[in-house]
Chains A and B, each alone.
With several copies, the nearest count.
Chain A
Amino acid sequence: MGGDEIASPEARADAVAEALVEKGHLPEGALDAVERIEEGLDWHNGARVVARAWTDPAYRARLLADGTAACAELGFEGPQGEYIVVLEDTPERKNLIVCTQCSCTAWPVLGLPPDWYKSPEYRARVVREPRRVLREMGLELEPEIEVRVWDTTAETRYLVLPLRPEGTDGFTEDQLAALVMREAMIGVARVPSPT
């Protein structure tokens, strides 16, 4: 038995990891193997997907028709990427992703999600008052623009394909990918024009 006080999360995590390995439930190195999987979960992958879609109309069509296969084409697949649906922003529609019940995300293309995405504030509010939340986060949308909020309640994992910003004619795929931020692929921001 431990003391009467609640152990710190750190002590608890270490205790569980140590016991799993010591009792032979996990082979030595299993946690390191997970770490290698984890390193592949990176939102910069999503930025590559977006940049490709902006420059290659055939890829864009494949991406919108079958997001899972089109992401896998670029090597982006794995846990929480089993069924990816891409949501296309248009001048008339802004898409937005949330997971109100936990914090599901398309890990292979969006990475492990940031704290704000996992916060009760975002989860509670964005399905109910998306315009207000976006405004507070710095994105003011005209009333004519539809805000469509996608709640990740089942096994579909979403990726927002944002609008290509003005002033990027002739940009290479790499240059474009460098402009794309995670927030734009979750849908709470637009990709800004290069300055």
Chain B
Amino acid sequence: MDGIYDLGGVAGFGAVEVEADEPTFHEPWEATAFRINLASIGFLRAYNADEYRHAIERMQPVHYLQARYYERVLTGATTLLVEKGVLDLADLERRAGGRIPLALPVRPNPGDGRSEPREPRFRCGARVRVRDDHKPGHTRVPRYVRGRTGTVVHVAPPFSYPDASSHGLPKRCEATYHVEFEASELWGDDAETNAPVVVDLWESYLEEA
């Protein structure tokens, strides 16, 4: 989905503020949120990591941008635990003594039916173009590289294709490619010099350039 979470290249943000000697968690509930999520994925197997990323992406956009990181973690995890029927929202709200904002409902991705793994199609040095898709559901192609051409600099091992695994479609693994894009290909005349960007892309996102 072309959502607000897809922040790469969005203009208008100010300075990056670095906190000296930052603790891992600023408040105890942040640790709780982190542990709930890891336990729900790893122990409980209530959902997978791709569903989790997508649940965060589905947060109401203003809530997404306002919330600090661990509030997003908490919202993603809570949304899925409720959607999967593990926990009951009314019960949770009673326990919490207030409303619990969840992410908005899923819009499914259409599947392409493929599930068999295949040999990597591209090699290092190949010129590839990123497909200009606009999926309604989860995808890991940032908007800033759609339709852009780059060069494969590394072939990574096959990983589960997230556009499928985040939506309960048949799982398939395929290679991801580290694709290098010249800055001017991405940002035009406004680009900095000598500042390429490498993006890690599943094979299904790419076509021969």
- Name A's B-contacting residues (CB within 8 A): 1-20, 23, 25-27, 30-31, 33-35, 37-38, 79, 83, 85, 98, 100-103, 111-112, 114-116, 118-133, 136-137, 143-156, 183
Contacts and interface: CB of A to CB of B under 8 A. Distances in A.
Interface in B157-186: 157, 159, 176, 178, 180, 186
Contacts of B29: 9-10, 13-14
A158 to B, nearest CB: 9
B22 interface: yes
Interface of B: 5-11, 13-19, 22, 24, 26-36, 38-40, 42-44, 46, 53, 56-57, 61-62, 65, 68-71, 74, 77-78, 81, 86-87, 90-101, 140-142, 144, 154, 156-157, 159, 176, 178, 180, 186-187, 191-202
13 contacts: A6-B100, A10-B29, A13-B74, A16-B87, A20-B86, A25-B44, A31-B39, A103-B69, A115-B69, A127-B8, A128-B9, A150-B178, A151-B142
Given A19-B87, A125-B13, A154 B77 contact: no
A1 B36 contact: no
Which of A114, A125, A131 has the most B CB atoms < 10 Å from its CB? A125
Nearest to A41: B24
B128 to A, nearest CB: 14
Given A13-B29, A114-B19, A120-B61, A155 B99 contact: no
Which of A9, A11, A130 has the most B CB atoms < 10 Å from its CB? A9
Majority secondary structure of chain B interface residues (helix, strand, loop or mixed)? mixed
Nearest to B15: A136
B122 to A, nearest CB: 14
A112 B197 CA distance: 23
Contacts of B35: 17, 31, 34-35, 38
Given A9-B71, A120-B61, A124-B9, A143 B92 contact: no
B175 to A, nearest CB: 10
Majority secondary structure of chain A interface residues (helix, strand, loop or mixed)? mixed
- In the A-B complex, the 8 residue pairs with the smallest Cβ-Cβ separation, listed nearest first, are A7-B98, A100-B8, A15-B95, A7-B96, A154-B200, A2-B93, A15-B96, A10-B29
A83 B176 CA distance: 12
B96 A153 contact: no
B195 A149 contact: yes
A156 B153 CA distance: 13
A36 B154 CA distance: 34
A1 B16 contact: no
